[in-house]
Amino acid sequence: MLEMEDLELLDAPLIDTADMTALLLRFLFNTVFVMIIIAGLYYPKSRRREYFFTFALISVSIFFLIYLLGSVKIKVGFALGLFAIFGIIRYRTESMSVREMTYLFVIIALSVINALAVSLSFGELTLTNLIFIAIIFFCERLPFANSYEEKYVIYDRIDLITPEKRDELIADLRKRLGLEIANVQIGAVDFLRDTAMLKVYYRDKKRFGDNIVNKMLKLPKEE
């Protein structure tokens, strides 16, 4: 009597219990550590649901793409290509902050490691994943990490942008914005319209997640 493992479809085994078990175990292993990073370290501080969804699906996609590719050389080349692509995206757009892009790189790196390192023991992989988590945990809790928010302001009082009136400029911004201004950088100045582009650094004690519109200079176009 034929067993399920003896059946073939298009010259490929219909079911390979050993391979399926290895795939599921490794996938669950990767998912546990990725979810610790996303749900335990990233989301409580940012509250960005769209990136929670993005990071989770990218991890699943990368893991299966790497794990199911046949050649080790192809796997390594594909992984390096992913890092190059996302690196180009980061430097060609400002739509994703440095923090989100860093987490994205970490998620991709862990998914690639957990899918590619089939010759390593689960003990070694566990240690590697725990090192990632420990470093993220430590960096997120440094006193100076993400202590200031940034906001771009189109400022109308260019008479205050001179160095000798810096204190007056900060005082005016504090009054008009109602924020605890820590520093101000002056960018482009338009003398025709009497406006200047300012980058304002401030401390937000009531911060609840990242403000995604802080760096917007104009209203988004409606689609």
pTM: 0.65
What is the DSSP secondary-structure string of the chain? ---GGG-EETTEES--HHHHHHHHHHHHHHHHHHHIIIIIIIHHHH--HHHHHHHHHHHHHHHHHHHH-S-HHHHHHHHHHHHHHHHHHHHH-SSS-HHHHHHHHHHHHHHHHHHH-TTS-HHHHHHHHHHHHHHHHHHHTSTTTT-SEEEEEEES-GGG-SGGGHHHHHHHHHHHH-SEEEEEEEEEEETTTTEEEEEEEEE-TT--S--TTTT--SPPPP-
Mean pLDDT to the nearest integer, 189-196: 88
What confidence tier does 208 reach under pLDDT thresholds 50, 70, 90?
very low
Q: What is the mean pLDDT of residues 95-117?
A: 84
* Selected residue with higher pLDDT from 49 and 83: 49
Asked if pLDDT for residue 218 goes beyond 70, the answer is no
pLDDT at 12: 56
**């802080």: which residue's tokens?**
214
Query: Span 65-86, mean pLDDT?
Result: 66
